[in-house]
Structure 1
Amino acid sequence: MFENRIELLEKIDDDENWEEVLDNNYLNYLEYQELYHDRDFGNATDVFKKLLPEYFNVIHLINRKHVKEGYLPDFDEAHYDIGIFLVGYSIMPIILSLAEIRPGHVIFVVTEDTEDLVDEIMEGIEVIDAEYYEKIKADIRLERLEELSDPARIFKTINALILENEGRKIAIDITGGKKTMVAGSFMASAHSQTCDIFYVDFEEYDLQRREPCYGTEFLAKLPNPSEIFSIVDWERIKSLFDRYQFGRVKNELSRIEKNIRKHEAYFDEETKEGIKKITTYACGYECWDDYRYKEALDHLPDEPALKVLGKIEEYYGDKLRFHKKTANSFPEANEEAIRETKSKICSNNEWLSFYLLDRLKNARRRKSQSQLQGTFLRFITLTEFVLILWAEKENVFPLNTHDSQTQSSASHIGFTNVLNWLENNGSVIAEDVNVKELKKLKNIRNNHVLIHSIKVVDDMNDLKRAEEYAEKIIQNLLKMKGVNEDKIKAVRQALEFKKFNELVS
């Protein structure tokens, strides 16, 4: 007996005769048990108090070893504000645990039968650590459980204690409770992210007596399921992902991956691959949402929409990079490149559909995040882009036109020019669009951009109308270009970001 314990203790201090120490402790403990069973409580208490200091010292040495190895927190540094202890009929494990954890405040969860044992537990603490005993003796709280057969009732009791001490660091020791008490308490503590769960384990088992071998106890920390599986975190990640907060999703997943490496034994390869998948989509969607299509395609090479958008970015980017280098020599080069690029996009129905509808979805993503200023600006600016694109492609302002109401110069068409022309002449491009109202929205956009206002939308109807007009004008242009409803629907579907549950199902 004690072979494993002696081997561990000799690694800590090989000068001590540990076999003799453990044998004496065990004999004293057996004497205490016999006296207690014979109801000789006075002598039993005397033996118990004599036994405790050396008995605890051995357990403490093993616990400190486990602290160094990372299996237990350093109780001197990781101070617990609250300690909740389930009190059963065996008080030794509770004394050992409480004397090791030393929380600032102690709550004993008792039954009618075990309530009187609290005094004995506190006497044991006084023997082991008189200073700590003096610190907590006046602040001991008892929480009585009336119904022991229903884990749900116990869960509610323990959960109420946790909520009552929300934000404080809590240690819960489940060693002393009946099975129903342990089940309910474990569920409550696992439900919380502020609790650490402890129990007193044994290194050896006495087959002859059919019980754990006293003298081989050590304190163990149960990994909290909420910590291992990041239960609360996943709900937050799901919410962030579906609200397009991909940068924050990446940060959260990075932390969870570190946690998985820490508790790797609990996770299968399928789960790990699932997390990698979510991370990949978060990276890809973050780039996509920022119009970095080619970079997004590196993460999501099988996305059909990105293949099209990537081609547009490649063409558009090459044109501008080339002309920026020559801009000082040829001031008109940038403008020429932009006109050429817009013409290229407009002449390719597939490019045009993906380009415009993606920007529309981008604005709507901002709307779902309640970024009202950015959303409003995006809708109006997108409408401006489409109308000027149409006007330039259709040559609605011939070069010999000098009407001041429609054109400020022969080489440039502005948003106001197009809106004035549409108000006077009408066109299919503005079908079902109130041009006067659109001019008003354009002026609101311009005024707020100029003064850098933080409050763009005084009336939510302005935002609603801006969205409706952007949608309608894009649809009108695509129909004029011969893009049918089925094609528009297919493009919209290809541009849709997957939801979190689609990736993890």
Structure 2
Amino acid sequence: MGFGKSDLECITKFFWDKDFDLDSRLKYYICENQKRLNDKSLLEAELEYAKKGERINVKSCKTLVLLVGFSPEPLLQSICVYKPEKIVLLLNENGYSNYGAWSTFANHIVTAVEYLKDKGLIRKDTHFHGEQTAGKPGYPTPDNPADIFKTLVEVLHDEEDVVIDITGGKKSMVTGAYLYAAYAGARISYVDFEDYDPKSRRPYGFSCKIGEISNPYKEFALREWERVRILYERYQFREARELLTKIRDSMKTVIPDTEEPIKKIILFLDYYEKWDRGDFRGAKEAAQMLGNFDQPSAVVELGNKWYEIKGANFENIPKRFYGDLQSVKLYVYDELKRIRRLIEYNQDYRSAFLRAGGVNEIIMIARLVQLVKNHQHYNLFLEKLDEKTPEISKVFDSLTKPEKEEINIKKDIPFDGFRKKNDPDIIVQMSSPMATWWKDQKNMFGDDNGWDSFLDKRNKLAHKYFAVPRDWAEDALKFVEANFEDFLGQRMSELSLCAETLPWSKLCELCGMNHFLPPNLR
């Protein structure tokens, strides 16, 4: 290194004693090579000495926020250590006494940063992120935490990899900056000093210790917005809505402009909660308050004709549902995606299996309906199915028997509402049995009688107390997906249907919350 502590003390005192204006002082500090310091400037030597003493332990950042007080030197040390792409200056709007207005002081910092570039201590492309007013870089702020917090929310809402250096600020500025860092998960940095000159009561720059302060908000996972995002992405809309309702008032107090965006997010959560529980009509009505957005296909196409529950009764039940191939396709697709979420997000394997059993019955009845070619019989059969449905094991048995050339529905697949003597015979011609689409799957239902095994397990789960492991639920879902794809004659991945929510980031943008949440929370 070629110099020691005594050399640094001597040059530092000499620097303090010089009668400089601020620009000249900073230029000397950054640029003037000192023979006694091995032809390094005082700033360079200070940082080298501190690094050798292992008192600098940070990694670079993209955006560095500086709370600007009356001593620029620690800020320049921080800039050299973090080597940011962007620098954000927060200054006291009341000015800096002998140095003049806040903008005047800010321009001294800008000039010093140019010296750092010329000296090769920072990146050449480092620039200031501030108000687009000539000669006024940075952001003037009132001397209170709430305004500091609000300014940072507005300025940094699109910035990533942020470090906030709280070294130079007054206590009120530090409080606001610290709150924002906790809220946004930003790193918090501070330049401390180990040695002070007893006469001048000034810290020696070479004794600097630059490090980051732990963020308890991040450390203890207290970021409520992160929880809201996770709940939303796991389709736990009610829980997300309840949590957001709890934090709404505190957010409104700190950032009043968030009130309307939060209200709109809550409306979206209510909409998605209705959709996720199958209330397509209710979701369609809720969507009227939300403007244009990509909705689940089932809500768009089934919402106006779906049933609704009033008290203990179903009302507005869809008519001739099993004969409407598009409605069946929309409903089954939506349900299969919901079953996947029950497995992935809820670990509710019993519900997933039972729900798969219900969807399987809908597909099988739709298959049977498609085989009825007589128009009069077709309409009669649909009317009967609006009231009751047949036992699915008999549907499977009739459709899979190779010796059957025709099915007499009243005799082969009787059900309540269609088994009386005066009910007409509905004859279905069978050119060939249904394809054994469940066979050869690498799961528990892949053998010849896989369909029977599926129905047996589903019935036992519906009426007994058995627990369901995940692999059973996964196999049940694969079984029904295979049924659906065989029925349609195409893979689910080829269907241009939507059964997902908007991405959280898109929802924040639609509701206007992207202006207040940092990138890691949206």
TM-score between both structures, scaled by the size of structure 2? 0.42
More relative contact order, 1 or 2 (CA 8 Å, 6+ apart):
2
TM-score between both structures, scaled by the size of structure 1? 0.43
Query: Greater helix share, 1 or 2?
Result: 1
